[in-house]
Amino acid sequence: MSTLIYSYTGTGNSLWTARAIAGELGGAEVVSISLAAGGQEADGADVLGLVFPVHMWGVPHRVLGFVDTLAGMRPGYVFAVAVNAGQVSGTLVQLKAVLAGRGIELAAGFSVVMPSNYIPWGGPGTEEKCAARFAAARGKAAGIAAAVRDRRIMPVEKGPLWQRVLFTALYRMSFNHVPEMDKGFWVDEKCNSCGICRDVCPAANITLGEGRPVWNHRCEQCLACIQWCPREAVQYGKKTPKYQRYHHPEVSVKDMMR
């Protein structure tokens, strides 16, 4: 059984999750959506997985675009994992419908909770809270792998009704505005023009102009640029200078390079 897991990640949570599931399965290949050759790698796969973060309580633009490239493929079993900070909302319900529109059945969809990486709303939490979430996520990855190995057909996991109503409405209202939300980024005097923010951006949204990053309005709000800056020079809005940075401790900046 050939298993291919596509991962989309900004600060490593989804990449770590994809690797953890692949490790439990044994022999599964993990491919970055940012580097994928139009989904061609999936042609002929028996099992196909999609692991991605929840952005604004829904599926990120880039993942939706990638799903379009899978239309017409018929893997034997498809599963998805939505990585989030505790509010999966209706993300997997949305993905199931989108895949169905491309002729692909989503057999199972899972929510994995990780420390928050959305720094405009604060840091990831205490070390104890992060450690507890890492431990729970490792256990969840093992459970997901068992379900995939057995090819279980399961309802997708979702948040409570109030989340699916309220947050799905907010997702729909904000969706078209996300790419230009990068207007809030700026760099302070600590920037040394290293270019790491450019190189880790999964949406290829950042260029360097006169040695400083320029955001080009293709943003996904993954916050990779802030979280991976080694000098903590990248900021968003007024509050981020005082907030703790976060990326998954078992993922390196080299792992993130496009």
Q: What is the mean pLDDT of the chain?
A: 95
Q: Tell me: the pLDDT tens digits for 172-209?
A: 999 999 999 999 999 999 999 999 999 999 999 999 99
Residue 38 confidence (pLDDT): 66
- The predicted pLDDT at position 229 comes to 98
Q: Is residue 37 scored above 70 in pLDDT?
A: no
Beta strands (DSSP E) in 35-142 are 47-53, 77-84, 108-113
Q: Which of 211, 219, 181, 17 is nearest to 114 (CA)?
A: 17
| Whole-number pLDDT of residue 142 | 98
CATH code, 19: 3.40.50.360
Whether the CB-CB separation of 92 and 80 falls below 8 Å is answered with yes
Total domains in the chain come to: 2
- 182 and 164 in one domain? no
Quote the domain boundaries for residue 98.
Answer: 3-168
Report residue 128: phi and psi, to 5°.
Answer: -65, -45
Same-domain check for residues 159 and 230? no
Band (39; pLDDT cuts 50, 70, 90)? low
Which pLDDT value is given to residue 74? 84
Q: What is the structure's pLDDT at 73?
A: 84
Across the range 56-82, mean pLDDT stands at 94
Q: Is the pLDDT of residue 62 over 90?
A: yes
Q: What is residue 243's predicted lDDT score, i.e. its pLDDT? A: 94
Q: What's residue 79's pLDDT?
A: 98
Mean pLDDT to the nearest integer, 144-170? 97
Q: What is the signed CA dihedral for 156, 158, 164, 170, rounded to 10 degrees? A: -90
Same domain, 86 and 142: yes
- The answer to whether residues 127 and 188 belong to one domain is no
- Residue 56: is its pLDDT beyond 90? yes
Q: Which of 168, 202, 227 is the last residue of a domain?
A: 168
Q: What whole-number percentage of the chain has pLDDT above 90?
A: 90
